[in-house]
Structure 1
Amino acid sequence: MSRLIPNRLSVRHVLSDHWRSMRKHGSSVADAAARYALLVVPLAVGLVSYGLEWRLLSPTALLPATSLLAGVLLATSGQLISLRARIADSVLLSGNQRVKNIYREALSGVLVAALAALLDAVLLAILSSVAIPQGETGWRLDFAIVGCALALTVSTFLVLMFLASVRRLYLAYLEAFENGEVLQRPRSTSTDALPSAEAGQELPSSAEDDDSSLSEFEIPTQARRHRSV
């Protein structure tokens, strides 16, 4: 296979690297559930589409979105590489193997998602270029059914890879800057802010405040009366 595809055009290392890096967080055990989900769910969607003979009525409408998504994911990989270079210069993070593993899986996952978006855009472009007349029962109809099944398979895989990439990117941020911990739910402090009698704190009496203010007002008044007398 390596002889048929030139080395510069081969994406085998990207796919194999991502497959091997899919491990459970904090361990070297392979994440079998995620691997099976990335394989079984898209194939199941494609088989259902083929069995029910679904067709894409307007594949042209989805073509710009998938093409734009491929470019965005490819640009995101460049940002990840720049951030990884900054982490390599850090004294505290450069020796953290967990951070390295997470960023490696995140980068390979984003690249695999970009490849899936590119393949999906190519399939949609091919489907949009073949016109299917109303009531067609020949090879055009079979082509539309098979093409729809393939496009839905790749699109489902792309959605799963997008969700996995979002999760891994956030996990990489937590490992690099938050010590791998998520924010905890804040405790309610509404009752703590109010002073309580049980804590030995007494509220100021309004009557005492009135008496003090009244006494301050009466003293100058009595002084004026004494002078007038």
Structure 2
Amino acid sequence: MAKKIADTEEMRAWKARELRYKKPIVRNLNLDFITQDLFDIQEECDNIRWYTDSNDGEDSLINALDGDEDEAYEFKMAFADLCAECERMEEDLEDEWIPECFDIFFVAIGAKDGGLMGWDPYVGDYMGISSSSTFAENEAKKKLRSMTKDKLINAARQCFNVYHAYMGLRNRYDNLKAAIDILRDQNTGYLQAVKEIDRLYEEMDADCRSRGKWSEQSREWKRYTDALPQEAWIQ
């Protein structure tokens, strides 16, 4: 009996897997993904704003821009503007007309960025499609063919409007994020080293005993400065 139940469950799972192509979506180009990605970009923009508002982050940014505080301010505002525009697009996706065929439209035209996924009723979620990707495209095309030409043209126009708006925001974020990652990786460590040198020097200069050749402060100062690369002393 138990084996029969197991065989039945396995058959249900297999049938559901084979029918995923009936409700296909592009993995990284569907409404749920776009909405979630816009939210994630906003969250990351807030994190970056917090970083650039911190002492280390602001110093890293200004240092990377050759001390240009105005340019540093514009850089920070670019993240603020991007965050606001992502929020505005999220609201537009809720308030403006989005064609019901949005997800299958990109499947039908062969957009396979990241691969295709299909709804699996057994799992209760979208799962990957591999061997049946051609069937998925054909299924999507068949559904589009059932629309009138005028409706299809209007839907296609709106689908591309959403796509271009999203990709524009996504590309802006990628460019800004790449820049801030470079600042984090390259400049923060440098500035921390400078601050550590300042701290050690102030300790050595504050205590008259530290002026002695073998004082603890003097030895620590020498150990640290001897370990620095020659490039650190270039003005």
TM-score where L is the length of structure 2 = 0.38
Structure with a larger share of its residues in strand:
2
TM-score where L is the length of structure 1 = 0.39
Greater Rg over alpha carbons, structure: 1
